[in-house]
């Protein structure tokens, strides 16, 4: 309710926690939020400028558009040009650049048929209305979106729709965090864990963060007090020499997540290796369509192979997603690369770090 929300924005309480954090910090600590919605919340609420100087705020690999690999983008751009293919996608993929500055928006100008949908379920109608075409939905995103796509595939099967395909580039969050933590060049003291993804997977899949790496991580809501309480908690633990994984968003996230959503997701998908933009190949960090569901698999049908290759010239998205660089340390930031004219994906999505940084710091 509104009242409950107000409780999580109380400015006096926020100030109190900020002061307490300030007094307890004896060295610089680096915290990364994993989810693009947190990135935006931290800027939008003004928290970014209120945080103690000793807190280094990093935005991690949790914006689905940002981590979609160049080669995945090239794959859907190539498909978009084919005869009798209608691509269906969420709107934020329209401007994501592939090689040579290509994107879906330009593909449309060149005659490709691309339909922006708001829910994967919309593709059922699209497929029914275009029986002579193949409707190919671009499946990007994390554990939040994958169950809905799995449910869409089941409905298509039940309804006898045979012209829907899924180009599956789904990725899973905990495996990416494991990859970040195992990289010695990366220095992160704790994670603000995503609210929506955790509502599906629960808390246990993150336990390795404390167990294997002795770092803390807290599942967190999107209000200023949620975020401050999680940061404060992690500072306290660190001062006591402890590391924990905890759930600070119990009003939405259950310990075990959403078992029904997980069941349907794993009925249709299975883990596979995946390429992440900027992070490279992470074993077991993707989802692919199980053989029983291969009639839906656009990758198999079109023989699509995803390979690592050179990244966009000059773009530092990789270093930004790893928390090694801040957006304004990219030489192109705000000059050659702006939201109106994005060079890399972190500037395209409104949840991308570069776009958030640009919007809230340069305004
Ligand atoms: Fe890439 Fe643009 Fe961000 Fe630089 S400012 S890292 S080019 S998206």
Instruction: Examine the domain organization and report whether 75 and 168 are in the same domain.
Output: yes
pLDDT in the model for residue 185 = 86
Determine if ligand 1 sits within 6 Å of the CB of residue 95: no
- Cβ of 356 closer than 6 Å to ligand 1, yes or no, is no
CA-nearest residue, atom 3 of ligand 1: 354
DSSP state of 173: H
Residue 49 has pLDDT above 50, yes or no: yes
Is the per-residue pLDDT at 197 higher than 50? Answer: yes
> pLDDT digits over 82-129, tens only?
999 999 999 989 998 888 889 999 999 999 999 999 999 999 999 999
Residue 312 domain flag = no
pTM (2 d.p.): 0.89
* Residue 316 Cβ contacting ligand 1 at under 6 Å: yes
Q: Can you tell me whether residue 246 is helix, strand or coil?
A: strand
Nearest atom in ligand 1 to 346's CA: 8
Same domain, 265 and 150: yes
Q: Are residues 19 and 55 in the same domain?
A: yes
For residue 282, the model assigns a pLDDT of 93
Comparing 14-23, 55-64, 83-92, 227-236, the range with the smallest average pLDDT is 55-64
Task: Determine the distance separating the centroid of ligand 1 and the alpha carbon of 363, expressed in angstroms.
Answer: 18
- The answer to whether position 308 is within a domain reads no
Q: Is residue 216 part of a domain?
A: yes
| 332 within ligand 1 shell (Cβ under 6 A) | yes
Q: Tokens standing for 334?
A: 């705000």
Contact 245, 206 (CB under 8 A): yes
pLDDT at 213 over 70: yes
- Nearest-CA residue for ligand 1 atom 5 is 333
Query: What is the structure's pLDDT at 134?
Result: 97
ipTM, 2 dp: 0.98
Strands of the chain (E only): list them: 29-33, 55-59, 85-89, 113-116, 134-139, 164-168, 190-193, 216-219, 245-247, 269-276, 280-289
Same domain, 9 and 21: yes
The finding on whether 347 has its CB within 6 A of some atom of ligand 1 is yes
Asked whether residue 309 is domain-assigned, the answer is: no
Residues 127 and 215 in one domain: no
Question: What domain range is 226 assigned to?
Answer: 2-62+174-247
Asked if 116 and 223 sit in the same domain, the reply is no
Which residues have a Cβ under 8 Å from the Cβ of 214 and sit 6 or more positions away? 243
Q: What is the pLDDT of residues 321-351, one digit of tens each?
A: 888 888 999 999 999 999 988 888 888 888 8
Among 247, 275, 294, where does a domain finish?
A: 247
Percentage, residues of the chain above pLDDT 70: 97
Q: Does 159 fall in a domain?
A: yes
- The strand pair at 113-116 and 85-89 is best described as parallel
- Shared domain for 162 and 262, answered yes or no, is yes
**Per-residue b/e over 295-329, b at no fewer than 16 CB within 10 Å?**
ebbbbeebebebeeeebbeebbbbbbbbbbbbbee
Are 181 and 173 within 8 A, CB to CB?
A: no
pLDDT at 314: 84
pLDDT band at 249 (very low <50, low <70, confident <90, very high): very high
Compute the distance from residue 97 Cα to the ligand 1 centre, in Å: 12
> What pLDDT sits at residue 61?
86
pLDDT in tens, 143-189: 999 999 999 999 999 999 999 999 999 999 999 999 999 998 889 99
The residue among 228, 247, 266 that closes a domain is 247
Within-domain flag for 307: no
- Structure confidence at residue 5 as a pLDDT band (50, 70, 90): low
Mean pLDDT of the chain: 92
Q: Domain holding 161: CATH number?
A: 3.40.50.11740
Q: Could you report the per-residue pLDDT of 251-310, keeping only the tens digit for each?
A: 999 999 999 999 999 999 999 999 998 888 999 999 999 999 999 999 999 999 988 876
Q: What is the pLDDT of residue 6?
A: 65
| Domains identified in the chain, total number | 3
- Cβ–ligand 1 distance for 354 under 6 Å, the answer yes
Q: Atom 7, ligand 1: which residue's CA is nearest? A: 315
- Same domain membership, residue 344 and residue 332: yes
Q: 168 and 282 share a domain?
A: yes
pLDDT band for 7, please (50, 70, 90 cuts).
low
Do 269 and 145 lie in one domain? The reply is yes
User: How far, in Å, are 178, 214, 217, 239, 252 from residue 211 at the CA level?
Assistant: 12, 6, 11, 18, 25
Closest residue by Cα to atom 8, ligand 1, is 344
59 C-alpha vs ligand 1 centroid, how far in Å? 13
Report how far ligand 1's centroid is from the alpha carbon of 331 (Å): 8
Q: Within a domain: residue 310?
A: no
Rg, Å, the chain Cα set = 21
Answer yes or no: do 136 and 239 share one domain.
no
CB of 321 within 6 A of ligand 1: the answer is no
Residue 108 forms part of a structural domain: yes
Confidence at residue 8, expressed as pLDDT on a 0 to 100 scale: 67
**In this structure, what CATH number is given to the domain that contains residue 228?**
3.40.50.11750
Query: Are 124 and 30 contained in the same domain?
Result: no
């Amino acid at each position: 309710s509104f009242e409950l929300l107000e409780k999580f924005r109380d400015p006096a309480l926020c100030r109190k926690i900020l002061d307490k954090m300030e007094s307890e910090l004896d060295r610089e600590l680096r915290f990364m939020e994993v989810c693009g919605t947190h990135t935006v919340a931290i800027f939008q609420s003004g928290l970014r400028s209120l945080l103690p100087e000793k807190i280094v705020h990093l935005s991690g690999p949790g914006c689905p558009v940002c981590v979609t690999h160049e080669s995945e983008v090239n794959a859907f751009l190539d498909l978009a040009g084919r005869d009798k293919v209608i691509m269906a996608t969420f709107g934020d993929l329209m401007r994501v650049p592939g090689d040579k500055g290509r994107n879906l928006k330009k593909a449309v100008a060149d005659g490709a048929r691309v339909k922006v949908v708001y829910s994967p379920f919309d593709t059922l109608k699209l497929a029914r209305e275009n029986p002579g075409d193949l409707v190919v939905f671009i499946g990007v995103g994390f554990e939040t979106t994958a169950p809905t796509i799995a449910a869409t595939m089941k409905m298509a099967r039940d309804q006898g729709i045979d012209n829907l395909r899924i180009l599956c580039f789904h990725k899973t969050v905990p495996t990416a965090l494991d990859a970040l933590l195992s990289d010695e060049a990366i220095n992160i003291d704790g994670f603000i864990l995503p609210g929506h993804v955790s509502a599906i997977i629960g808390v246990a899949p993150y336990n390795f963060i404390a167990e294997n790496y002795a770092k803390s991580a807290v599942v967190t809501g999107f209000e200023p007090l949620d975020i401050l309480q999680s940061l404060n908690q992690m500072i306290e633990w660190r001062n006591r020499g402890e590391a924990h994984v905890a759930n600070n968003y119990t009003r939405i996230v259950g310990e075990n997540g959403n078992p029904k959503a997980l069941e349907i997701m794993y009925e249709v998908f299975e883990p596979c290796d995946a390429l992440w933009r900027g992070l490279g190949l992470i074993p077991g960090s993707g989802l692919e369509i199980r053989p029983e569901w291969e009639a839906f698999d656009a990758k198999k049908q079109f023989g699509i192979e995803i390979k690592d290759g050179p990244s966009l010239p000059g773009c530092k998205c990789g270093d930004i997603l790893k928390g090694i660089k801040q957006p304004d340390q990219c030489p192109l930031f705000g000059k050659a690369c702006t939201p109106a004219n994005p060079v890399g994906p972190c500037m395209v999505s409104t949840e991308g770090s570069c776009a958030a940084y640009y919007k809230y710091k340069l305004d």
